[in-house]
Structure 1
Amino acid sequence: MRLNKYYSAAFLAFFIWGFFSLALKPLYNYSSLDILFYRVFFSVVVMVLINLVFRKKVIQKDWNYFTNMNAKQKRNVVLLTLGGGVFLSLNWFVFIYVMNNVSVKAASLAYLICPILTTVLAFFILNERLSKWQWLAVSISALSCVLLSINYFESIFYSLIVAATYAMYLVSQRKNSQMDKFLVLTVQLIFIALVLLPFYPVLSGPVPTEPLFYVCLFAIVLFFTIIPLFLNLYALKGINSSAVGIMIYINPIIGFLLAIFFYNEEVSFLQGFSYFLIFISVLIFNERVLFAKKMKIAPSEIEGF
């Protein structure tokens, strides 16, 4: 891979996401639902402002494109967009819960499993083909999950839920390629916010008054949502999605290292061996991209969470 501004943008996006726990862990005293409420509401405000101030031409172009679609195409776009919003909100909620109530390791494991799980779901739902090497990688990854579940069922259970919800989001959005992705994400977040709004007065706790909450929330919205997303979308303009797909593993690797060396979470031999198997499965799964002279495969389009 020749290093250029697009590769640098993709690397930086996932590198930043790897440190998400630094902004999220200080909020462990707040409920996962409260963090979700404020993350969604603040993200909507920021993203709507970005679209209205900087992306008016994109909005007009996509609106004209949408109005010229036939009824079936419009229905598909609406269903895929809103359905993706449901999967994304579930992913955000479970991820926040796992990070603050289970372990950083479990949250990191989810995004090690996610790319492979995404491709398996795409095989059954979208009829996308897998090579023999990729099936071998899936088998190794499944074996590692079985090993992890022997003594750590709760961790692997939540990791699989996080991975499955994000994988379903990605699979659902593969067919939703007609519209601008950042605009689609904005619409999805507005939809999530409208769904959550009636529940906010009933299910939310007291309005946070600690400055730490808003400092961390500002970091989550700006540094771990908006900026990495911009970098990711920019990278996809200049490199194929298979190259971006490989870089998603930067995120959980950093998270796993933080869990061990920063949060002092214990790692047993079985856990370490299982993570090692997942790492091997990642290499095998991406062998065509990693070891081929020319990258010709673009298995999936990886976006921000």
Structure 2
Amino acid sequence: MKINRYYLAAIAAFVIWGFIPFPLRAVSDYASSQIMFYRISFALLGTIILLLTLKRKALQSDWQKFRSESGLSRRKLLTVMTTASLLLSFNWLLFIYVVNKVSVQAGSFSYLICPILTSLLGYLVLSEKLLRNQWLAISLSAVSCSLVASGSFLGMVMSLLVATSYAFYLIAQRKFQGYDKIVLLGVQLSISFLVIAPWYWLTLPAGGAMLPDGHFLTQTLILGVIFTILPLFLNLFALKELSSGTVGILMYINPLINFTMAFLYFGEMASPQQVVAYVLIFLSIVVYNWHLVSAGRKSVAVAAEIK
């Protein structure tokens, strides 16, 4: 029974993220930069409240850990932290633009290929090893991307930009092993806010942005708290008992819900090339995670034998 809570937490996190097109489309008349500014503002405020209440010990522990680092290590960590913050900001801003101005499909496709792209970049940047099935999955993903590009080159470019920016963000996160993710999010949001706020307010008059009303503030508050802080907190809770591989498989719930919303609710259509591309990307996901699925089956069989 205990493990079920962690599975439910992981599933709930990715289900919540799967419905993010709803609040984004609800404010699609506003500029992407305006949505971004308020999302970061509300997310930062919520994170600060969380850090000062439930995460105070983690905040103090991470601060002591950072202070114990050498001067060179601290400078490197600050450089990587700033880079990660800018990557996250770019990823969020671009994803908002893609969902509202291109298509929900393009946004969904980016997070389907993101885990596979992250592995490829991990191999190229960090010299991480890849299994044969993962190389096959990367090849299938490349074919899928080429098919999507033949139907919508702009959509493919946008999807790759979203996926690549988040993949590099995930790689940068690996430099912060041992640090609490909520604390890291608070620092990254603070840096993002310091970068975006001046730029946003200086360009606001020239951009002719709409004045935020109650509806806009409510939707961006939901984006900042319900679709940012809550699922991350649930994901961290799930990782206390579940392996990162298990959570990695569950994360595909997010883009699958996005795709369902794109076709059934937002009325988007797919060309024959795109349909083939989506079939290939789903196949590549199965192939990419096959070693994890096989390991899970062996664990179940061993548990059955013990019983």
* 1:289–1:295 contact (8 Å) kept in structure 2: no
**1:285 corresponding residue in structure 2:** 288
Structure 2 letter corresponding to 1:250: I
What percent identity do the matched residue pairs reach? 40
Number of equivalences:
295
- What is the TM-score of this pair, normalised by structure 1? 0.93
The CA deviation at 1:76 is 2.5
Q: CA deviation digits over 1:18-74, x for unaligned, max 9?
A: 000011101110000111111111111111111112222111111111111112221
Q: Deviations over 1:169-212 (max 9, x none)?
A: 00111122132111011100000100112112222355634221
Write the deviation string for residues 120-164 of structure 1: whole angstroms up to 9, x where unpaired.
Answer: 000011111001110000000000100111121011110000000
1:105 touches 1:256 (CA, 8 Å); kept in 2?
Answer: yes
Residue 88 of structure 2 is matched in structure 1 by 88
TM-score by length of 2: 0.92
- The equivalent of 1:266 in structure 2 is 269
Q: Which amino acid aligns with 1:218?
A: L
Q: Shift of residue 293 of structure 1?
A: 3.7
Question: Aligned in 2, Cα 1:134/1:209: closer, same or farther, shift over 3 Å?
Answer: closer
Aligned runs of 1:1-305 on 2, under 5 Å?
Answer: 4-204=4-204, 205-206=208-209, 208-293=211-296
Which runs of 5 or more residues in structure 2 are unaligned? 300-307
Shift of 1:294: 6.6
The alignment yields a C-alpha RMSD, in angstroms, of: 1.6
Compared with structure 1, are the counterparts of its residues 33 and 61 closer, same or farther at alpha carbon in structure 2 (3 Å cutoff)?
Answer: same
Distance in 2 between residues matched to 1:241 and 1:76, nearest whole Å: 26
The AA in structure 1 aligned to 2:143 is L
Amino acid of the structure 2 residue aligned with 1:78: L
Paired residues of 1:80 and 1:176 also in contact (CA < 8 A): no
Query: Given that residues 151 and 271 in structure 2 are in contact (C-alpha distance below 8 angstroms), is that contact kept between their aligned partners in structure 1?
Result: no
Task: Provide the residue aligned with 2:304 in structure 1.
Answer: none
The range that moved more, 186-195 or 173-182, is 173-182
- 1:77 deviates by 1.9
* Distance (Å, rounded) in 2 between the aligned partners of 1:239 and 1:79: 31
Q: Distance between the aligned counterparts of 1:175 and 1:57, measured in 2?
A: 21
Residues in 2 aligned to 1:3 and 1:60: alpha-carbon distance in whole angstroms? 29
Q: Which residue in 2 is equivalent to 1:303?
A: none
1:292 match: secondary structure: helix
SS in 2 for 1:4: helix
Question: Structure 1: any 5+ residue segments left out of the alignment?
Answer: 297-305
Partner deviation per Cα, 1:229-281 (whole Å, 9 max, x = no partner): 10011111111111111111111110011000100001122111110100000
Q: Which amino acid aligns with 1:259?
A: A
> Alignment partner of 1:171: what SS?
helix
Q: Quick one: structure 1 residues 191 and 295, their matched pair in 2 at CA, closer, same or farther if it must change by over 3 Å?
A: farther
SS in 1 for 2:176: coil
Query: Would the alpha carbon gap of residues 103 and 207 (structure 1) be closer, same or farther in structure 2, given more than 3 Å must change?
Result: closer
Say whether the 8 Å CA contact 2:33–2:200 is kept in structure 1: no
CA contact (8 A) 1:288 1:295 kept: no
